Amino acid sequence: MVKFKLGDNMDKVMEIAKRRGFLWPSFEIYEGLSGFYDYGPLGVLLKRKIIEKWREYYTIKEGFYEVETPNVMPKEVLKASGHVDHFNDPMTKCKDCSEIYRADHLIKDETGEDVEGLSNEKLTEIISKKKIRCPKCGGHLSHVWSYNLMFQTLIGPTGKKVGYLRPETAQGIFVLFKRLMRFYRNKLPFGVVQIGKSFRNEISPRQGVIRLREFTQAEAEIFVEPDNKTHPKFHKVADEKLKLFSAEKQLNGEKPEKISLKEAVDENIISSELLAYHLYLTKEFLTDLGIPEEMIRFRQHLPSEMAHYAADCWDAEVYMGEFGWIEVVGIADRTNYDLKSHMESSGEDLRIFVEYEKPKLVKKVEIHPRMDKIGPRFKEKAKKILKKLKNMEPEKIKKELSKNEGKIKIKIDNEEFEIYEDEIEIKEKRKYIKGKKVLPHVIEPSFGIDRIFYATMIHNFVEDDERTYFDFPTDIAPIPVAVFPLLNKKELINLAIKIKKDLQKEGLIVNYDESGTIGRRYARADEIGIPFAITVDHQSIEDGTVTIRNRSDKKQVRIAINKIPDTIKKLIKGDIKFHELFYHEELLVRD
């Protein structure tokens, strides 16, 4: 039994995926649209199981609450987050045939060199030096320019309000931070997750379901005190080993190494306990889906490829045959980049109060903007000026006033204003303070659900002499159970339908099939990875038992009909293993 053969198995998987209704290229009858895929009936079931498993990890076990924010976002938000300015791909165009290419991908295809993250100037230079031409027509290529990857739209009828489809679900959480902070009663750390669509207007999406223009993310944003990136359960997993491919090893041309989390944190390979803990959780999650541990590694981002918001970032990569190692999860330390940006852009205080262990005696400068003076002078701008002043460090205001002849300059909506000394009252006090306001840091595990879905398909695919089937874990299989009447006889059919209904009452999706030989029905069920098949035969009428067949080893055992729903539920959950049924004779007997 070969669980994963490189190369040709992947085509077989896609063939079954299309034929049986897991995945279909979108808009096929209109000649398709690259970068978009439909989930068919079985695909949706599998995807939902994967997402439910994810929730089990993050919302149940880690206790993070979930939010749902819009796909459409106004420009202000994505301007603040840096996406309007920095979320770009380098692009080049053929001067002859007008075909458009992603410059770094084109260079990689032509030279084998990985040039991701290089500047547009550098890429233009390489294209020119290496004499790279349009692969389609041989024409000359243009200078490389930046192309923003967000889908743009207009909100409302005025034609003036620019919006974008979100490039990540994370921003919805950051924008909500003030509300979330109150929901969690202003206590760090806390985590918030979002599962939903994100959109990237890729220049030329390739690799099927791996590079999509519309995709599903499951992201957790974990807000922590900047100087406390620990996890209460870290000690439980500290000795677990992961295959790590650090930036240093990559740059030195070395291989990934299996080391313990403790060592990785102690030697500063992974920048914090919390980040390391989430690497481990990610590995656990992926192996729960049936992806073998040896097909998973964690690769650290090189300084050159790090996103504009990240301080340290590790990709969980799964080996996918011809595609190589593919990123399926990114686990980043985003520091306070996002909250800081949104605090500056919106003028809202997004800091959270953190208590010291014991109060400290400090000299404290307080500033009180005088609304009686600022109000009349600035009118409708006064409120924003007030907000801005209150968010500034009082010490800084005091310094600037004394340095700058009793004036301080502030910027509101790109306009500069001068505030005078007599418009701000400054008080100095010595007092005990209980804590300080901090802007939390963020650790973010970000899961690409479509790629994980695909990895789950290919790594559970089994081909042996007789069969091709998906050996999905029992709680991941899209359809958990099949019910077949052995023969096309009314009494068997009626009983089979009754069994099907009993299973449906438990909320299970049941594959009921009465067409073709029992062998063909087993084969069809195996092919889509149904772990358990119940067959109703003549003996069922006589003694009230049926056979349950186990997909993975084709073994069969008889149990009493009224024990079916409970037994199947336990088998799916893993509370009982199939081979254990042989030792549970009480299951053969009706209550």
Q: Does 137 bind its own copies (CB under 8 A)?
A: no
H or E, element range at 243 = strand 241-245
Q: Does 252 bind its own copies (CB under 8 A)?
A: no
SS3 421: helix
Beta-carbon count within 10 A of 424 CB: 20
> Which residues are bridge partners to 484 per DSSP?
535
Report whether 166 belongs to an annotated binding site. no
By C-beta, is 30 or 583 nearer to its own copies? 30
By C-beta, is 69 or 287 nearer to its own copies? 69
By C-beta, is 249 or 340 nearer to its own copies? 340
Q: Does 552 bind its own copies (CB under 8 A)?
A: no
CA–CA gap between residue 147 and residue 131 (Å, rounded): 23
What sign results for the dihedral spanned by CA atoms 258, 263, 268, 270? positive
Q: State in angstroms the smallest separation of the CB of 60 from its own copies.
A: 5
Q: State in angstroms the smallest separation of the CB of 42 from its own copies.
A: 8
The amino acid sitting at 152 is Q
Q: Does 493 bind its own copies (CB under 8 A)?
A: no
Q: State in angstroms the smallest separation of the CB of 344 from its own copies.
A: 11
By C-beta, is 183 or 356 nearer to its own copies? 183
Which phi and psi (to 5°) does residue 448 adopt? Answer: -90, 100
Beta-carbon count within 10 A of 75 CB: 16
By C-beta, is 88 or 556 nearer to its own copies? 88
- Which residues are CB-neighbours of 139 under 8 A, at least 6 positions away? 94, 95, 96, 97, 133
* Stretch near its own copies under the rule CB under 8 A, chosen from 17-25, 240-248, 485-493, 546-554: 17-25
Alpha carbon distances (Å) from 228 to 410, 442, 443: 33, 11, 11
The amino acid sitting at 145 is W
By C-beta, is 153 or 539 nearer to its own copies? 153
Residue from 68, 372, 416, 465 in contact with its own copies (CB under 8 A)? 68
Q: Which 143-182 residues touch its own copies, going by CB under 8 A?
A: 147, 151-158, 163, 165, 172, 175-176, 178-180
Q: At what angle do helices 41-55 and 449-460 cross, to 10 degrees?
A: 110
End-to-end CA distance of the chain: give it in Å, rounded.
Answer: 40
Asked if residues 438 and 335 have their Cβ atoms less than 8 Å apart, the reply is no
Report whether 183 belongs to an annotated binding site. no
- Which residues are CB-neighbours of 438 under 8 A, at least 6 positions away? 225, 226, 351, 352, 354
Q: Does 574 bind its own copies (CB under 8 A)?
A: no
Q: Does 47 bind its own copies (CB under 8 A)?
A: yes
By C-beta, is 134 or 408 nearer to its own copies? 134
Q: State in angstroms the smallest separation of the CB of 155 from its own copies.
A: 7
Q: Does 231 bind its own copies (CB under 8 A)?
A: no
Asked if residues 554 and 535 have their Cβ atoms less than 8 Å apart, the reply is no
Report whether 120 belongs to an annotated binding site. no
Alpha carbon distances (Å) from 255 to 246, 279, 323, 494, 528: 9, 19, 19, 61, 37
Q: Which 470-489 residues touch its own copies, going by CB under 8 A?
A: none
Q: Does 572 bind its own copies (CB under 8 A)?
A: no
Contact mark string toward its own copies, 179..218, x via CB under 8 A: xx--x--------x----x-x-xxxx--------xx----
Residue from 6, 8, 15, 65 in contact with its own copies (CB under 8 A)? 65
- Using alpha carbons, select from 389, 384, 387, 343 the residue that is nearest to residue 366: 389
Asked if residues 328 and 306 have their Cβ atoms less than 8 Å apart, the reply is no
Beta-carbon count within 10 A of 390 CB: 13
CA–CA gap between residue 238 and residue 241 (Å, rounded): 8
Q: Which 313-352 residues touch its own copies, going by CB under 8 A?
A: 342, 345-346, 348
Asked if residues 61 and 464 have their Cβ atoms less than 8 Å apart, the reply is no
Report whether 202 belongs to an annotated binding site. yes
- Using alpha carbons, select from 559, 554, 562 the residue that is nearest to residue 584: 559
Residue from 14, 69, 493, 523 in contact with its own copies (CB under 8 A)? 69
Q: State in angstroms the smallest separation of the CB of 432 from its own copies.
A: 24
The amino acid sitting at 451 is R
Q: Does 432 bind its own copies (CB under 8 A)?
A: no
CA–CA gap between residue 297 and residue 243 (Å, rounded): 5
Which phi and psi (to 5°) does residue 48 adopt? Answer: -65, -40
Q: Does 29 bind its own copies (CB under 8 A)?
A: yes
By C-beta, is 165 or 270 nearer to its own copies? 165
Residue from 4, 39, 54, 447 in contact with its own copies (CB under 8 A)? 39
Q: Does 523 bind its own copies (CB under 8 A)?
A: no
H or E, element range at 549 = strand 545-550
Q: Does 514 bind its own copies (CB under 8 A)?
A: no
Q: Does 236 bind its own copies (CB under 8 A)?
A: no
By C-beta, is 155 or 365 nearer to its own copies? 155
Q: Does 59 bind its own copies (CB under 8 A)?
A: yes
- Using alpha carbons, select from 36, 376, 348, 65 the residue that is nearest to residue 202: 36
Q: Which 350-409 residues touch its own copies, going by CB under 8 A?
A: none
SS3 395: helix
Report whether 124 belongs to an annotated binding site. no
Residue from 504, 566, 575, 584 in contact with its own copies (CB under 8 A)? 504
Residue from 5, 36, 287, 544 in contact with its own copies (CB under 8 A)? 36
* Stretch near its own copies under the rule CB under 8 A, chosen from 34-42, 482-490, 534-542, 559-567: 34-42
The amino acid sitting at 420 is Y
By C-beta, is 41 or 435 nearer to its own copies? 41
Q: Which 70-99 residues touch its own copies, going by CB under 8 A?
A: 70-74, 76-77, 91
CA–CA gap between residue 470 and residue 477 (Å, rounded): 8
Annotated binding site for substrate: 102, 168, 215-219, 444-448
Annotated binding site: 102, 168, 200-202, 210-219, 327-328, 444-451
Annotated binding site for ATP: 200-202, 210-215, 327-328, 448-451
